[in-house]
Amino acid sequence: MLQALKNSIKTNLKGDYKSVDKRLSTQVDKLVVLFYRLIGRSWIDYYADRLDANAGKDLGDDYLDGANVHLQYLQAHGLTPDHVMLDYGCGWLRTGGEAIRFLKPGHYFGVDISAERIKAGCERLVAEGIDPANFEVHPVRDCLLREVAGQKFDTVWANSVFSHMPGDDISAMLAALRPLLAIDGQFVFNFVRADRPMIKSVKSFSYEVEEMRALCEAEGYAFELLHDWDYTTHQMARVVAA
Which whole number is the average pLDDT over 46-52? 93
Domains of the chain: 2-41 (no CATH), 61-241 (3.40.50.150)
Confidence of residue 192 (pLDDT cuts 50, 70, 90): very high
Cα torsion 220, 71, 121, 36 to 10°: value is 30
Residues 6+ apart with CB under 8 A from 205: 162, 163, 164, 165, 166, 167, 192, 198, 199
pLDDT(2) > 80: no
Higher-confidence residue of 107 and 2: namely 107
Tell me how far apart the terminal alpha carbons of the chain are, to the nearest angstrom. Answer: 58
Q: Give per-residue pLDDT as tens, 134-146.
A: 999 999 999 999 9
Say if residues 90 and 158 touch (Cβ distance below 8 Å): no
Q: Mean pLDDT check: name the lowest of 37-41, 179-183, 197-201, 203-207.
A: 197-201
pTM of the predicted model over 0.85: yes
Long-range residue pairs from 120-125, CB within 8 A, at least 24 positions apart, any chain = 120/55, 120/56, 120/92, 121/90, 121/91, 121/92, 121/93, 121/94, 121/96, 121/97, 122/93, 124/92, 124/93, 124/97, 125/93, 125/96, 125/97, 125/100
Supply the pLDDT for residue 200: 63
Q: Per residue in 22-31, pLDDT tens?
A: 566 677 788 8
* pLDDT at res. 233: 79
Mean pLDDT of the region 16-38: 71
Residue 203, SS3 per DSSP: coil
d(CA 85, CA 80): 10
Half-sphere exposure of 40 (CA within 13 A, CB side): 0
Residue 95 vs residues 34, 74, 161, 163, 188: alpha-carbon distances, Å? 33, 10, 13, 17, 13
Please state, in angstroms and as integers, the Cα–Cα distance from residue 172 to each residue in 9, 148, 166, 167, 237, following that order: 40, 15, 10, 9, 18
66-115 pLDDT, tens digit per residue, is 899 999 999 999 999 999 999 999 999 999 999 999 999 999 999 999 99
Contact 96, 85 (CB under 8 A): no
CA–CA separation, 55 vs 69, rounded Å? 22
As a whole-number percent, the residues of the chain with pLDDT over 90 amount to: 71
Contact 241, 178 (CB under 8 A): yes
